[in-house]
Structure 1
């Protein structure tokens, strides 16, 4: 039996119940073992009433019948007295049969008594057959004597079965009384032999020898039985032996023993019968008195045994009850204390310690002494376990405090590094902005745009560190920004921006406080879509306004994710876990979850049946407003340089083939610098225009008078301006690549909508010197 997996309560119960059950069984066994003899003693009255007295009466009648049967067999005629005696014998035998057949006597006795009673009943059944043989004179006196002696012997054997009791003294006295009865039975057998010999005039063959044996046995049994009687009973019996009738009967016995066996018995039959009846009656009365006295003496002995049994039983029962109570009390105490230790351990492991860690991560102060109070469980081994667990709890809480402190310090390091990187990136973007403004060479400007795009991506990665550290990035807007501009800004921060197709996006705006985070969130999802899909596939972005807000769907045609991975990712997006530095493979997913939780944005990943994955972003309605009429106005946070946060969209060099006509590109002079103005076409996108910078002329020099332009030059300039404006309007709603034969106006750029830089294989048009008409235009 394996008990390793048993509970403490089950083990203690087994430990307590087993000895208590053994004690109860031993108490029951001892009580039963003692109660049996006491009940036997109390049943002695039953034995006397149901077997002793009816058996003694039947023996007496059988003895009389045996004598008369011997006399009848010795004579020549039937005796009327024999028939009368047989009726008395049958009456006594019938009463004996009724008593020995009752369940009361058999239940009071044992198996031995039951066997003896069965043998007695069989002997009584053979009595009628023997009588018939006697009446037909088919048996002699010896056989008749043996018939009755056998029945009487069965009766005395039944008496022996009830004589054995729990008290040796009482048993010895009972056996002595039975032996006295046997001695009286031998005396009766002697009477039957003498009566037959007197009637016949002589002893039959072997009867004289039988007479001698019977007399000797009778005297021996009497002497042996009297020796076991109490002193006063022995004195009383000795008084019987010295009586006149007893002395006369003994003298006649001696005369018969010394007489010639073949001669006539030398005693008078009447004198013999008179002496025998007197002695028999005295012996019978003595036996009855001894039996009654013995029955009376068994009652106090039985009561004494029952009293001792009751005392022992009550004491044993009290001991059993005390053992059970002590076992239950100790067991319950042990179970309660051990259960308390277990509950404290589970409470610490499942509730208190995680709550302490969560509070520490929220920045709350934690008192180790208060969070890990000592557990008092006594001074025994369980108390030692409780004190050891106190140390374990205190160490665990201290370790949690140290771990969270270390994590907080690591976050501070992340945040410090991120802030420094942000500062450097913003300074770099500001420097690049100045360089772009001063550069007139299209190839150099294209390279600067590429570097600008890399710096924009570096800025996003620096913001990732800020988000991982639990802080808020520095970028922000006071006014709402169009959803289209937010999506463009997210696309501009992705490396493979040229694989992203922006589809239909209904007009709407995003509140300024969430523009930076939503842009960052979309950029992370778009970058995942491009990174986990083939280079020759496209990433589609569409959106629609719903009652709960604005939905943006980003769909790729990559390998996708397994259902279990999608479910786990959605669980992380819904309930973002604490940042674990060991899980660095999904930093983008963690950043998205943090940003979504900050503004209540719902992000869900959905596997597509044709392959790939769709990221559904639901921006809540409280962050959605009407589309603003103009470009966003940035707001700077004091902790981060803001020279680049609100920079307008930059132009890119016009990509054109060698066959592209020159009039599709706005000419500009090296002496001009660029600035940003709001385009008059109302699409909300700033446009870079050329003007003469202060470096082109000294401050003290007055501006030159405009040079008149020819109508051809004005027409050429206006045609180029009209073509660029039309193209800008067409590109205001999509980022789809233009056909190769389409004219491409000056590009736009900005923190939320940067255009791809020009390809090295497509050099920009060479700058042209402006004329007076161009400057006027």
Structure 2
């Protein structure tokens, strides 16, 4: 196989040498042909260009003043032009295969324009062609010649192309002066220009100034620049510019304007006759420079072609001989290095895979170093050793940094959660201590904000690779899970919850599911305009329970839906630092939690224009209804006023002015933590008797953690460690002072009676009054 070391370099070098020689040969032939064509075509074209410009001016003189002198000058010029035309017609026989791009088309256009020259002359002599028609024909013929000169600038040599382009711009500027001369010839006799001629004159003056100042002067060097500077500072040039300014400023309508126009004729003719030879001198200098540069480039390419051809042959022979010599010497050593490299190739992917699984890797133990030797192959072995060690060390270091950052993030979040738990506990104490509705309203808002803040801190724990600490010890109704999630959303009043049947969720999935649903609800409420609702529906399906969250916002484009669903199917190992500016942290949290529970989350477009999210709970997370939890006895006097669980707030309790009374005429009793239950338990679509068997509508009551099922509630006197309560108010209560005072007195009386019953109910959860210990 090592024979390839001889054949491949020799064959490759041969191909490169042949390709390089062919390219140089082709380039040399092309530049040589382009140089020859440039000289042949350029000389003929420039001669015809100058002759046609002179004939255009004399034709305008004859049309303006058909005197014998003018006709004689025109006839003499036509004879000169005919000789230039005959020379130009020979260009069609030139071989332009290796010439400039567009050269053949330029020659064809010039030939076509010259075919109409005889007919145009007859029309001028018969006075059947107007001044403007003659002017347009000659201008178009000159434009075709300028196009032919422009085609000559398309050379493969960049220096030649740049010089040629400046030369064409100089010819274009001279053509503009010729146009001015032809247009002014119409009005010298009448001392008046038509509007059309005046507009053409102004355009020609502006184009000439632009070409000379922006396209020609910046690229002139040496003698060209000094000649141009002498031209522009000469008295003739200044007189020409003064005449142009006078002609542009004069309206040529009044008698004074006509007199001024007539006086400028002599100045114009004298200035132009002096300026044109100097412009032609600049043209000659630039043309010589162009020709010289093209010739130098051709000679350089020929020398380079010969030198590289000989050097390439010598290098090819040397490479073949050296490769054959080294093949025998290196055969054994190369085979040894190949075996070592193959072994290293199989070991490195395994190391990387172990790092991805968060396993500890010892760099020294994993890398097998190659034995170095004091020659070039030894250097290669040492380089392989360094590369292997660097790759593994870098991977290990990055993995350690990533895990360290995750631990730091979790530690900070856990400490913050402790403070949030203490804050929630303090809020519970303040809520139990104060009975002022306004104070309670503020405390409820703080409690709601704190619950949301706890969820955000749990987001940091999840993104850092951890799991939420909140745990449930019993299954929970799906409706209560959805309400608990609703309580952790800022704009919870817009969320409508509807659950078919009565599915229950396994205890291990309650905490993560509450977090997932809360994130999706928050996202739906945040990206839909208030007061549009966010509909949450849950029902059993063939593979478990499906929860649908649908908003009426702007939605996303199909690509965004595809990206989000791909994220839900395979959440990445998120590096928070790389997504610091991503506002969709909630989607990463949902993806991680749903992956751990084997939930299926899918985002789809909604019929309302927003987004519809479907969360599918598998059968393994859906359980049957557990046995009823024993509940404490309730005094007969309280049976018609204390709720047995979270219930909607009756409409009468929200109206201002007056308060409903119980059937026995007494105010409803408020036990600890039962004020304003309608705020925490959002109205559901479940049907049933919401006010007990008596039919009496109680005053609004607050039930602590009313969105949770009875199984989640524990005695109120147990210590709490942070929780899931969600409280808020729909607005300040509108009740009179007497009613509030009566409510407080009866509440205190009920608490005393309730405390008398508590010793016999130790260890049983109180309905509607639970601490957070059961969920953490």
TM-score class, shorter-chain normalisation, is 0.3 to 0.5
Q: What TM-score comes out, normalization by structure 2 length?
A: 0.45
